[in-house]
Amino acid sequence: MGARLVLGAGARQVSAEKVPAPPDTRTRPPAANYISWVALALMTTSSVASLRPAPTMAVYGLAAVFLYLLPAIVFLLPTSLVSAELASGWKGGVYNWVALGISKPMGFLAVWCQFAMTIFYYPSLLGFVASTLAYVFNPALASSGVWTALVIVVVYWTGVWVSSRGTKGVAGLASGGLIIGTLIPGVVLVVLGLVFLGQGNPSAAPMTADHFLPQWAGLASLVLIVNNFLSYSGMEMNAVHVSSLKEPAREFPRAIFLAMGLVLLIFILPALAISWIVPAETLSLTAGIMQAFDAIFGEFGVQWLTPIFGIMLVTASLGGMLTWLAGPSKGLLLISRQEGYLPPFLQRLNKHGVQQNILVTQGVVTTVIALGYALIPSVSSAYWLFSVITTQVYLIMYLLMFVAAVKLRRSHPDHPRGYRAPMLVSLCGVGFAASLAALLVGFIPPSQFGGGNEGIYFVIVAGGALGLGLLVPFLFYRLRKPSWRQPEAEEVTS
């Protein structure tokens, strides 16, 4: 927090000029290019929904329903509506929104957090890939930290190589991944889970009404809910499509509520199915889905399907990783060239127009973080640590976005917007409070990981979240030089 305040003070000294509101250059798409609100809802669902967080919430059994609904209301809904107003009024993404609403340095902090969260996101995502892939070769490897670290390093650097060559068509992997690696496995898991219960088998987790709320054992009993904020994040990127709706004011809320319903179904039902089949005390946060598939396929005598479904899940995750790999760093690169926030070495492009030096530097840090899987005794504990650090870094960006939205509504009330969020101040207040609460709660070790050293847990999380999310961008800002600015540099496209 201190670093953020100092950065803000520096903003007033170094860049005291008020960032002017750019002229409204938005143009409505031709009638033939409008998209339906149902199409937007499906696009949003495909970019948010995933089976990866299901084991995390399956630990809670029936209470997973409540723990998914609560952040959907206090975080997903405010984030969606607020970012839609910002996207329909100002181009430039989160940097421009925060730069106009607060200051340019705070805009840099926001876009930095959007990029920096991926540094811990990839180890957690690829930790899931490693545990899932283990069921294709040897399920015992799922609990091996060395195997997990090895897979992360090999797969990540392969992704860097692919991305650095400017390969096109990667987005098709992610869109196909929604069906191949999310919808089909999710439906199969839920249907077989229902058949499992219908045959008279008892549920591993109680499914009675008195278990709808999580058992209260202090704040530590609710810490796993923090992971759901990461599950719902990214809505500010989908909000740009609001201008493609024919009647945004009427259709966008419809799209968001439909997307919320679909996302909740995809998140909740597989989590419940896992809780029916795998006891919470034996559930792995990285391999929980494969544990459930292995158990349910064994129950029906088709265990040979387990590695096939493992490959399907891995394919979807890798497609998502490749589409994310170059995106956030590209935005950071463009802003840094304009304002000189990063040294020239990190601004350099290769012959394919890709910010290879940023990707390589990020890869070195990711490799070091991946060693955490080999050094931390429990793979599930390492997975949770990286997930919560990812969430906290991203939440810093959301805190800034909510503040900027309120300030822009007050300072530019008449600026053209394709969509105006209802009760914007209240939405921002709820979203800000929920984000801040989730960020603070993340410093508390979850009750499911009892027995660990709370001090070490706090140091790791604080060092990762606050160090990477606040200290590093503060140092870049303070050490910047006028020669770092390259506004005249032409963007090279692949």
Question: Would you list the DSSP string of 141-163?
Answer: GGG-HHHHHHHHHHHHHHHHHHH
Q: Is residue 37 part of a domain?
A: no
Cβ-based burial of 315 (10 A; exposed 0-12, middle 13-18, buried ≥19): middle
Note the pLDDT of residue 308. 92
CA-to-CA distance for 192 and 437, rounded, in angstroms? 37
Over residues 187-195, the mean pLDDT reads: 92
DSSP structure string for 395-429: HHHHHHHHHHHHHHHHH-TTS--S---TTHHHHHH
Higher pLDDT, 233 or 313: 313
| Helix 305-325 and helix 288-299, axial crossing angle in degrees, nearest 10 | 160
CA-to-CA distance for 494 and 487, rounded, in angstroms? 20
Residue 12 confidence class, pLDDT cut points 50, 70, 90: very low
Instruction: Work out whether the CA dihedral 80, 85, 90, 94 comes out positive or negative.
Output: negative
User: Does pLDDT of 408 surpass 90?
Assistant: yes
- Least confident range of 41-45, 54-58, 64-68, 235-239: 235-239
Higher pLDDT, 325 or 245: 245
Q: Calculate the average pLDDT of the chain.
A: 80
Higher pLDDT, 163 or 315: 315
CA-to-CA distance for 130 and 152, rounded, in angstroms? 7
Q: What are 363's two structure tokens?
A: 């890869």
Over residues 264-277, the mean pLDDT reads: 91
Spatial CA neighbour of 435 closest among 61, 5, 44, 71:
71
Total residues belonging to the chain: 494
CA-to-CA distance for 27 and 141, rounded, in angstroms? 53
Query: How far is Cα of residue 153 from the mean position of the Cα atoms in its chain?
Result: 20
With beta carbons less than 8 A apart as the criterion, state whether 52 and 128 touch. yes
Q: Is residue 265 part of a domain?
A: yes
DSSP helix/strand/coil, 478: helix
- Least confident range of 83-92, 104-113, 223-232: 223-232
Over residues 409-425, the mean pLDDT reads: 90
Note the pLDDT of residue 25. 41
User: Does pLDDT of 243 surpass 70?
Assistant: yes
Q: Is residue 305 part of a domain?
A: yes
Note the pLDDT of residue 494. 32
Higher pLDDT, 410 or 483: 410
Note the pLDDT of residue 382. 77
* pTM summary value: 0.79
Q: Is residue 472 part of a domain?
A: yes
Q: Is residue 161 part of a domain?
A: yes
Q: What are 169's two structure tokens?
A: 């068509």
Note the pLDDT of residue 178. 64
Over residues 432-455, the mean pLDDT reads: 78
Cβ-based burial of 19 (10 A; exposed 0-12, middle 13-18, buried ≥19): middle
Note the pLDDT of residue 101. 94
DSSP E strands: which ranges in 333-492?
Answer: none
Higher pLDDT, 13 or 173: 173
Backbone angles phi, psi at 164, to 5 degrees: -70, -15
Please give the residue range of the domain that contains residue 341: 54-479
User: Does pLDDT of 156 surpass 70?
Assistant: yes
Q: Is residue 91 part of a domain?
A: yes
Note the pLDDT of residue 380. 73
Task: Kindly report the number of other CB atoms within 10 A of residue 12's CB atom.
Answer: 10
Over residues 475-488, the mean pLDDT reads: 83
Spatial CA neighbour of 314 closest among 129, 157, 162, 147:
129
DSSP helix/strand/coil, 55: helix
Percent with pLDDT over 90 in the chain: 19
First and final CA of the chain: distance in angstroms? Answer: 39
> Which stretch of DSSP H or E encloses residue 48?
helix 37-48
* pLDDT tens for each residue of 14-59: 333 334 444 444 445 555 567 888 888 877 777 777 888 888 788 8
Q: How many domains does the chain have?
A: 1
- Least confident range of 180-184, 200-204, 288-292, 460-464: 180-184
Tokens 């809320």 locate to: 253
Q: Is residue 43 part of a domain?
A: no
Note the pLDDT of residue 175. 55
Residue 227 confidence class, pLDDT cut points 50, 70, 90: low
Residue 176 confidence class, pLDDT cut points 50, 70, 90: low
Q: Is residue 494 part of a domain?
A: no
Cβ-based burial of 27 (10 A; exposed 0-12, middle 13-18, buried ≥19): exposed
Instruction: Work out whether the CA dihedral 90, 91, 96, 98 comes out positive or negative.
Output: positive
With beta carbons less than 8 A apart as the criterion, state whether 476 and 6 touch. no
CA-to-CA distance for 265 and 475, rounded, in angstroms? 43
Residues 6+ apart with CB under 8 A from 61: 205, 206, 207, 211, 272, 275, 280
CA-to-CA distance for 271 and 248, rounded, in angstroms? 33
Higher pLDDT, 474 or 323: 474
Note the pLDDT of residue 487. 65
Over residues 359-369, the mean pLDDT reads: 86
Residue 208, domain CATH:
1.20.1740.10
Note the pLDDT of residue 396. 93
Query: How far is Cα of residue 414 from the mean position of the Cα atoms in its chain?
Result: 33
> Which stretch of DSSP H or E encloses residue 15?
none
Residue 230 confidence class, pLDDT cut points 50, 70, 90: confident
Task: Kindly report the number of other CB atoms within 10 A of residue 299's CB atom.
Answer: 15
